[in-house]
Structure 1
Amino acid sequence: MRIHTRFLSLLTPLLALVALVSNADQSAPPMLQPATPGSADASASTYLGPATGQALGQEPPQELSSELVYTALVAEVALQRGDYAAAFEHFLAAAQLAQEPSLAERAVRSALNTDRPEAARQALDLWTELEPDAPKAHQLSAFLALEAGNRSIAMASLQRVIELGGVPGQGYLQAAQILGRLPDPSDRLALMRELVDALDADSDPDAQYALATLAAAAGEDDAAMQLAERASVLRPGWTDPKLFLVRLLVGMEQPEQAQAALERYIIQAPEDAELKLMKAQLHMDAEESEQALAVFNELLERTPERPDVLFAAAVLALDIRDLDAAREYLEALKRLGKRPNDVAFLLGQVEEQAGNSKAARGLYDEVRGQNRINAQVRIARLYAKDGDVQRARELFQQLRDQYPGQTSAFYLLEGEMLRDQGLAQQALGVYDLALGQEPDNADLLYARAMLAVGMGQVASLERDLRRILIADPDHVDALNALGYTLADRTDRFDAAASLIERALQLRPDDPAILDSMGWVLYRQGQPEKAEGFLRQALDQGFDAEIAAHLGEVLWALGRQDEARAIWRHALDEAPDHEYLLRVLSRFRFSHTDN
């Protein structure tokens, strides 16, 4: 006889129950009747089962009764249908009939899905009776008690969580994570301090470390440092509190102190790889790539087959364009058979940067998983760069066919690729085609507008950007781009200033918008006001176009030497910047000018 697979899936838990009950003790007492939600048995005061011992003398029934089979089956059907209230009622009844903790757990979880904490508490009573040492039961008990504001039950449950922590020391951290449910960090810390006092754990390193994490979250940095230091002293070979202390100092914006503390710890434990990895991380944070790579190499000399170190070193080497080193790390990972898709993707980047286009395309084509699309886009760009634009465009069409939900993104990427190859008219055709399908897509409209202004089509730019602003009047990039273009390419300075002022209100520290404001003020004949905005923009990070603008403003103010110094620095930083070179040509300035 053919049995429906859905019915088989419902019977699976019952088969396990048959095996459980068939081995039951022959002297089982009469079965319990299902409890009713909301009864006295479900009160908060009886939430926790006994801390130790058997479950009130209850044992499994002698045989699998028809009532039990029916009740468990109805519970499973209800669960599959999403009727969590009915699932709770029947799982609870089945758990009482079978005296089986796993069914009580299912009753708890069903009740939680109904947002009925009192029902969950009732099922938890039974679960802890049947399995007093179940860590998950006491964790859920603590969660529910905290949400209900029942401090006494929460504290008792958290104590059991700590006692049943499993891996030594994990109980305190589990308790700290549960306390993280409280909205006020100070409350979390206060409760954990009560727990530590109640358990007389002032000399327990795990307790001190858990307290340190909560103190840091509460903004008590000094207390967190003292607690972490104490944990480290109480267990000298423990790395976690040391790493915590270093991260805490970094978060407090004390990088020198963090570095000094880390060096002290490394002297104490020179073979500790985790401390060395933290040292590499600090170097990377400080943009000291060479030093970070040296630390990775030191680690690999001792343990050459560490995949995590090899991968981090490869990424860093690629970032600083040390292609030989990156290739070596990745080939080592490849020999280990680790992270094959990441290895192929990064090796593709290595070969691409080395100018080995064919090898790069082959590697990218091996990539599967989350980087698959990115790899295919890179293949298309490489074909275009090598002159086979038609093949590149075919690949983008294939991607649109394979991933219809990302069609607009592929049109954007194809247009960008064509623009980069100097094929502006073809790029415009791509955007026109895409906008024919999605006429109100803001990203496509913005991309076409930026292309249009480069082609001298200011009216087209304005039409597309105003269409964006009709749908979204606060689209900051559209406001800024339209304002800047009107200031730069037309004499509609008042309209330009109005747009840029609105953009600046929405994003007051954006260097591009500050540059636009400086530029429109200059074009309005106010170079003195313009200088402040341009300097503020340039202070946030070097940009050749902003530097070109500032130099032009300084020149207008009669401060030619300052203008030359700004331009000279800009040429050093970006010798091929097209806009900068146009400005310098207009002023007949060269790098050798004094």
Structure 2
Amino acid sequence: MAFTNLLISTCAILLLLNGCATQSTIPASVGEGAVTQKVPTAQVETPSPEKKAKPAEGSFEPDTLYALLVAELAGQRKRYDMLLSNYLHQARKTRDPGIAERATRIAIYLKADKAALAAAMLWAEAAPEDTNAQQLLAIQLIKAGQFEQAMTLLEAIQIETGEANFEYLAASTKDLNQSERNKILTHFDRLLGSYPNNTKLLFGKTILLQINGRGDDALKTANALYELKPDTRNQLLRIRLLHQLGKTKEALKLLTQSLQEDPADKQVRLLYAQLLIDTKALPAAYKQFSILVEQNPWDSQLRLTLALLAMENNQPDEAKLNLTLLLRDDRFAQDAHYYLAQLAEQQQPEEAITHYQQVISGDKAISAHAQMGKLLLMRQQKSEMQQIFRQSRIKNPDNSENFYMLEADLLAKYGYAQDGIQLLTEALNQFPADINLLYARAMAAEKTNDLAAMEHDLRIILGKEPDNANVLNALGYALADRTDRYHEALELISRAAQLKPNDPAITDSLGWALFRLGNYQEAIKLLEKALAEFPDHEVAAHLGEVLWATGQYERAQQIWDKALESKPDSLIIKRVLERLNPEQLK
């Protein structure tokens, strides 16, 4: 490396230790010394001016400078394990507050909680008068579940500065049991004895009471807090508590009063609109979101909610206008395409298909492709559907397996089962160890009555996961239903039942296998239990058939009739009726 470049890099480190964070991209999960997974890139938090690390006193040893230089270069090259571990090691070695702060902030951003706690302890020890260091240590102690230690530290901060963050501690107790929260509540009450007008303590106590299910006490505390500090935040806290206590009319009244005082308050109007949605007053909610969007025209989340409310209120033109505007925002474009497709489905299916195929990632990608595939196959456009799925797998390789399985399922449903099996074989050539693909191919083979192929794939899965209850059940049920290997079927299903004793699907299979073995009474008990827990038409078909076999014809017909009321197109029940009671179909 040229000397000039080394000097520039070294100077950059010294500047960084005075508070300037390097803009390196970091993954989100780092242990104390090693990266464990990749995440989307993001910047390490740059400390705000009041949170900058203090300049290091004196000069660093050459090996420390070199280690920090290597760390920063590693960060630029996405070697995040080295970035964090070098900083943490040098923080331990030098006890320098600047290095310790940098290590702490990197670890916090990476969600490396153990490393963050270790670094925060070093920073707080090296800078005992730095309130930011002490506050961050308290937060890390809370994250580690060390609430007593955190509370002790926050008390010390409160005595020293009067600025302890009790609110975060209170909000972090939701996963504790009530007894543990009561201990912390006792600490809050003791401190309130010394600081009765501390609004952060009162806010934190309100949250603790709310989490503990003491809504009335929480509201009393929130009212006392609002009297001390009548700001929007504390007013909204009171209003949310009123709503949770079922006093929504009173909450809406307070919101109306607040909006009269300040019509431009976004948070107040947003809560007002949300409560209107909760009370099913959708036209009124639409009006409030219209005002919000008018006041905040660049807030895409508000605009999306407005569009969805327009759809609910049967205002398709308004919905389409707002969704079309959202296409300009990359963060919301796929959501916009999805809902524009829904609007177009009935009258303009080609336009719907165009919109659906734009949704290639996110939580709506599979649903969008399912609807698009259905529309294309209904129009006999199989090759067009296959081409779109191929393109989607290329554009979003992380979702490739799901696209394969969905396409195969669509092909099977619309009469192209062999094409679906061929597609899944292609997928397994690409992802040979994928158990979900193997299972999907096994289920596709079952639909074509190729039980040998089905059993082959399920046995492969069981070779890798012998305690996979769903696979044990699927194979056992197929053997009970399609072959005379009843004892083998019962053994497989019994193993599944041991693994998942309360699964109604497995209970149904167990009952069906016992019926095949001639144990009618035990079969009826199990099938009745399965139907009570999971009122599915297939379970009803099974129970009805066993009842019929025992001469309980009227009860069997009642079971089938009830199932057909909820699913009149059930082929399973209709096939049973064709075999056993064709007169009922007439």
Q: Would you say same fold, with TM above 0.5?
A: yes
Match of 1:229 in 2: 220
Distance 2:309 2:360 in 1: 22
Are 2:473 and 1:480 equivalent residues in the alignment? yes
Letter of the 2:162 partner, please give it.
Answer: E
Answer yes or no: is the 8 Å Cα contact 2:577–2:584 preserved in 1: no
Letter of the 2:237 partner, please give it.
Answer: D
Would the alpha carbon gap of residues 228 and 362 (structure 1) be closer, same or farther in structure 2, given more than 3 Å must change?
same
Letter of the 2:406 partner, please give it.
Answer: L
One of 238, 252, 263 as aligned partner of 2:235: 238
One of 334, 345, 350 as aligned partner of 2:337: 345
Answer yes or no: is the 8 Å Cα contact 2:531–2:539 preserved in 1: yes
Are 2:367 and 1:358 equivalent residues in the alignment? no
Distance 2:372 2:271 in 1: 39
Match of 2:485 in 1: 492
**What is the deviation of 1:147?**
5.4
SS at match of 2:481: helix
One of 252, 268, 280 as aligned partner of 1:266: 252
One of 391, 394, 402 as aligned partner of 2:387: 394
Match of 1:332 in 2: 322
Would the alpha carbon gap of residues 13 and 116 (structure 1) be closer, same or farther in structure 2, given more than 3 Å must change?
closer
How do 1:140-179 and structure 2 match up within 5 A? 140=137, 143=140, 154-159=153-158, 163-164=162-163, 171-176=165-170
**What is the deviation of 1:189?**
4.6
Match of 2:42 in 1: none
Match of 2:434 in 1: 441
Match of 1:105 in 2: 101
Would the alpha carbon gap of residues 377 and 265 (structure 1) be closer, same or farther in structure 2, given more than 3 Å must change?
closer
TM-score, normalised by the number of residues in structure 2: 0.71
Are 2:91 and 1:88 equivalent residues in the alignment? yes
Are 2:409 and 1:416 equivalent residues in the alignment? yes
Match of 1:471 in 2: 464
TM-score, normalised by the number of residues in structure 1: 0.71
**What is the deviation of 1:418?**
1.4
SS at match of 1:456: coil
**What is the deviation of 1:541?**
4.0
Answer yes or no: is the 8 Å Cα contact 1:323–1:354 preserved in 2: no
Answer yes or no: is the 8 Å Cα contact 2:377–2:414 preserved in 1: yes
Distance 1:439 1:72 in 2: 47
Distance 2:376 2:508 in 1: 37
Answer yes or no: is the 8 Å Cα contact 1:141–1:157 preserved in 2: no
Structure 1: which 5+ runs fail to align?
Answer: 21-58, 96-101, 166-170, 248-257, 284-290
Answer yes or no: is the 8 Å Cα contact 2:578–2:585 preserved in 1: no
Letter of the 1:106 partner, please give it.
Answer: R
**What is the deviation of 1:173?**
0.9
Would the alpha carbon gap of residues 105 and 157 (structure 1) be closer, same or farther in structure 2, given more than 3 Å must change?
farther
SS at match of 1:370: coil
Are 2:541 and 1:548 equivalent residues in the alignment? yes
Match of 2:498 in 1: 505
Letter of the 2:137 partner, please give it.
Answer: L
Would the alpha carbon gap of residues 427 and 323 (structure 1) be closer, same or farther in structure 2, given more than 3 Å must change?
farther
Answer yes or no: is the 8 Å Cα contact 1:511–1:538 preserved in 2: yes
Distance 2:387 2:150 in 1: 65
User: What are the superposed Cα offsets for residues 195-232 of structure 1, whole Å, 9 maximum, x if unpaired?
Assistant: 55335344556433412433455xx433x541343213
Letter of the 2:382 partner, please give it.
Answer: V
Answer yes or no: is the 8 Å Cα contact 2:138–2:154 preserved in 1: no
Letter of the 1:77 partner, please give it.
Answer: L
SS at match of 2:511: helix
Distance 2:18 2:443 in 1: 70
Distance 2:18 2:221 in 1: 53
How do 1:67-78 and structure 2 match up within 5 A? 67=59, 74=66, 76-77=68-69
One of 448, 452, 457 as aligned partner of 2:445: 452
Letter of the 1:574 partner, please give it.
Answer: K
* Worse-superposed segment, 384-393 or 151-160: 151-160
Distance 2:350 2:6 in 1: 51
User: What are the superposed Cα offsets for residues 457-476 of structure 1, whole Å, 9 maximum, x if unpaired?
Assistant: 22222222222212211112
Answer yes or no: is the 8 Å Cα contact 2:504–2:530 preserved in 1: yes
Would the alpha carbon gap of residues 197 and 493 (structure 1) be closer, same or farther in structure 2, given more than 3 Å must change?
same
Match of 2:262 in 1: none
**What is the deviation of 1:246?**
5.0
Answer yes or no: is the 8 Å Cα contact 2:320–2:340 preserved in 1: no
Match of 1:370 in 2: 362
SS at match of 1:422: coil
Distance 1:9 1:368 in 2: 41
SS at match of 2:421: helix
One of 505, 508, 518 as aligned partner of 1:515: 508
Match of 2:202 in 1: 208
Match of 2:285 in 1: 296
Distance 1:137 1:509 in 2: 49
Would the alpha carbon gap of residues 591 and 570 (structure 1) be closer, same or farther in structure 2, given more than 3 Å must change?
farther
Match of 1:37 in 2: none
**What is the deviation of 1:570?**
2.0
Match of 1:44 in 2: none
Match of 1:11 in 2: 11
**What is the deviation of 1:477?**
1.6
Distance 1:182 1:567 in 2: 45
SS at match of 2:339: helix
Answer yes or no: is the 8 Å Cα contact 2:92–2:122 preserved in 1: no
Distance 1:311 1:110 in 2: 34
Distance 1:111 1:431 in 2: 42
Letter of the 2:251 partner, please give it.
Answer: Y
Letter of the 2:247 partner, please give it.
Answer: A
Would the alpha carbon gap of residues 516 and 118 (structure 1) be closer, same or farther in structure 2, given more than 3 Å must change?
closer
